[in-house]
Amino acid sequence: MSAMPSEILLIPFGEVAAALLAHLCKMVAMTFGCRCRVGNTLPLPVSAFNTRRNQYSAHAILNYLNHREGTLMLGIVDIDLYVPDLNFVFGLADTSGQRAVIALPRLRQESYNLPKDERLLLARAVKEAIHELGHTSGLGHCNNRSCVMAFSNSLSDTDHKGPAFCRQCRVLIRAGQDGSRPKERPEPR
């Protein structure tokens, strides 16, 4: 990992609520101790849509984020994303390119025929944003289920974990601030 970013840039694809973007920016700036700003909205890339699945490719969305040195980039989409071999993903990170993306639809209560809960949506979006940005900073998945870097196989996993790094992940992130790459943890099986 290179030194910690000087900036985190949030890039909305298509229509994303301004209040949600502002809240995410505030929370990731506090977590990573750097400047955050919302960039220009990009159109949803038509080529990323898979008509057979009726979803967008998370990898294709990542490819539309142009990496800038010293900047972590987080795409925010309000569409359903997938990667091969999985039905959907809450987010995806490209650790080598310091780019990530999160998807909002499956973080919403109403996606599960439950009453709308904007506060819960914001909390879930923050967790997923910090999680994916953690990957871009060199962290792997954490075995501590309360850590924001714990793998979310379901929405209940996301709800269980907190919005912060555990002590061990904080140490690894801080170790990366000196320009060295944090030692990644093995992925859970």
pLDDT in tens, 58-99: 999 999 887 666 788 999 999 999 999 999 999 999 877 789
**Active-site residue, 128 included:** no
Asked if 165 and 147 count as a contact pair (C-beta separation under 8 A), the reply is yes
Token pair belonging to 75:
């795409």
Q: For residue 108, how far is the Cα from the chain centroid?
A: 15
Instruction: Write down the pLDDT at residue 187.
Output: 37
Average pLDDT of the chain to the nearest whole number? 89
Q: Domain extents for the chain? A: 7-139
Token pair belonging to 127:
């967790």
Provide mean pLDDT across the span 132-156.
94
Quick one: 7-139 is in which CATH superfamily? Collagenase (Catalytic Domain) (3.40.390.10)
pTM score, whole prediction: 0.89
Of 58, 63, 10, 66, the C-alpha closest to 34 is: 10
**Which one is predicted more confidently, 174 or 61?**
61
- Say whether 13 sits in a helix, a strand or coil: strand
DSSP 135-169: HHTT---BS-TTSTTB--SSHHHHHHS-SS--HHH
Using pLDDT thresholds of 50, 70 and 90, give the confidence band for residue 56: very high
Q: Which of 69, 110, 128, 132 is catalytic?
A: 132
